[in-house]
Amino acid sequence: MAEFGEILAELRQDHKLTQQQLGEKIFVSAATISNYESGAHYPDVQKLISLANFFHVTTDYLLGRCTSSLSPDVFKQALPMGMTIGDFVKDFQSLPADRQAALLLIMKDLKLGQLVDHYMKRG
């Protein structure tokens, strides 16, 4: 798994920010950001949280403890029928493996249908 400094540098570059610009966002110097990215120093807990909030990722993602960069807020997003994405994930996890596979096939088919519709409209 990637190290904190690599992950931070990648996020910063993906957001097209210089070390100076990122430093200004979380109130540290460009040299501090450079030290974080090189692994010379690590942020304190408050700065780690500031970075996670700024990039809309979890602290676990920043620390290389998980591979998903999804914000925890995504699980609170509302779905139809009074569900949230978090509720959907919980329900999905409780399904037997064959039902999970069937649902994934349906989702893949729906997504493919969206792509076909998109290209047909452009056509």
pLDDT of residue 123: 59
Residue 75: burial class (beta carbons within 10 Å; 0-12, 13-18, 19+) = middle
The owner of tokens 């966002």 is: 25
Q: Is 40 helix (H, G, I), strand (E, B) or coil?
A: coil
- Residue 91 confidence (pLDDT) above 90: yes
Band the pLDDT of 122: cuts 50, 70, 90: low
64 and 79 in a single domain? The answer is: no
103 and 60 in a single domain? The answer is: no
**What's the rounded mean pLDDT across residues 19-31?**
98
- Residue 115 confidence (pLDDT) above 90: no
52 and 91 in a single domain? The answer is: no
Instruction: Work out the mean pLDDT of the chain and round it to a whole number.
Output: 92
78 and 38 in a single domain? The answer is: no
Band the pLDDT of 1: cuts 50, 70, 90: low
Q: Angle, nearest 10°, between helix axes 30-38 and 19-26?
A: 110
Q: What is the CATH number of the domain that holds 35?
A: 1.10.260.40
63 and 109 in a single domain? The answer is: no
